[in-house]
Amino acid sequence: MTATPPRLTVTVQRGTEGATRQETFDVPAYENQTVLDVVTWIQQMADPTLAYRFACRVGMCGSCAMMVNGEPRWTCRTHVKKVASDGQLDIAPLRNLPVIKDLAADMDPFFDKWVAAEARLHPSAGRGDDFDPVTSQEPARAEADLGIECINCGICYAACDTVAGNPDYLGPAALQRAWTLFNDSRDADRDGILAAVSGKGGCHNCHSMGSCAQYCPNDLNPMRAIAGLKRETVRAAWGRKRDA
């Protein structure tokens, strides 16, 4: 006698921006199963036209993030048992981003904001120069180290309600990277970073609701980084005023 294997009821958002619909799939449940496994099962066994994105399957690449039951998750490292004890799964593309198709969100606005936040290295040394020694004992280096494990998955960006209400806001990931570089002794444009994060969509729009830190799969804390940027921008402006 074999027991009927338990089933999952999975609702998936289909379609492109402005023309989305919900489709429900009946998926077999297993003892060990990630949300990405479920999505892959649907594409392999039920509907090969389902579009979604993944690469490494081990939480390194940051490409498989989706909304799972209303919360942003890295699907390759999220066990179904943890998020769907009642056998119901609701899967949608990452929030706060346009949809390309089905579960694949358009990451362009997300990465455009990294550039807008000057969240890229401004080299201070050339090919012929010596390496800059990086010692983890310095306070600035310790602060930078807190943010370097970011895998650009976009989960914090999708979790943030400030981004949802204020589309110009640069968002937690870009600002955290800007803070990391600001604290990196190898970066040559600290003033440029502070100016870039002080505009209309800058760090000062953050309300410290902490959803970024709550959902970051790598346990980073962009809220803390953004608080650091706020402090340093105020300090720099104060200094300019006194020097003037």
Partner 1 sequence: MLDLRLYVAQRLSALVMVPLVLGHIAVMIYAIQGGLSTAEILGRTQGSLLWFLFYGTFVIAVSVHAAIGLRVIAHEWGGLRGRVLDWLMWVVGAGLLTLGARAVLAVTVP
Partner 2 sequence: MKVPPRSHPLWLAFLLHRLSGLALALFLPVHLWLLSQAVTSPATLDGFLAFAEHPLVKLAEFGLVFLLAVHMGGGLRLLALEFLPWSDRHKTYAAAAIGAALFLSATFFLRAI
Residues that bind partner 1 (CB under 8 A): 162, 164-166, 168-169, 198-202, 204-205, 230, 233-234, 237
Per-residue contact track with partner 2, 104 to 133, x per CB under 8 A? ------------------------------
Computed on alpha carbons and rounded to an integer, the radius of gyration of the chain in Å comes to 21
Work out how close the CB of 160 gets to partner 1 at its nearest, in angstroms, rounded to a whole number. Answer: 11
Residue reference for tokens 């609702």: 11
Q: Which is nearer to partner 1, 120 or 200 (CB)?
A: 200
How many CA atoms, within 13 angstroms, populate the side-chain half-sphere of residue 1? 1
- Look at residue 159 and give its three-state secondary structure: helix
109 to each of 154, 186, 199, 204, how far by Cα in Å? 11, 27, 17, 19
Work out how close the CB of 208 gets to partner 2 at its nearest, in angstroms, rounded to a whole number. Answer: 6
Q: How far is it between the farthest Cα atoms of the chain?
A: 85
Q: Which is nearer to partner 1, 13 or 198 (CB)?
A: 198
138 scored as a contact of partner 2 (CB under 8 A)? no
Cα–Cα dist 165/142, whole Å: 33
Partner from partner 1, partner 2, none binding residue 147, C-beta < 5-8 Å depending on class: none
Work out how close the CB of 226 gets to partner 2 at its nearest, in angstroms, rounded to a whole number. Answer: 9
Tell me the backbone φ, ψ of residue 200, rounded to 5 degrees: -65, -30
Q: Which is nearer to partner 2, 26 or 161 (CB)?
A: 161
Q: Which is nearer to partner 2, 121 or 210 (CB)?
A: 210
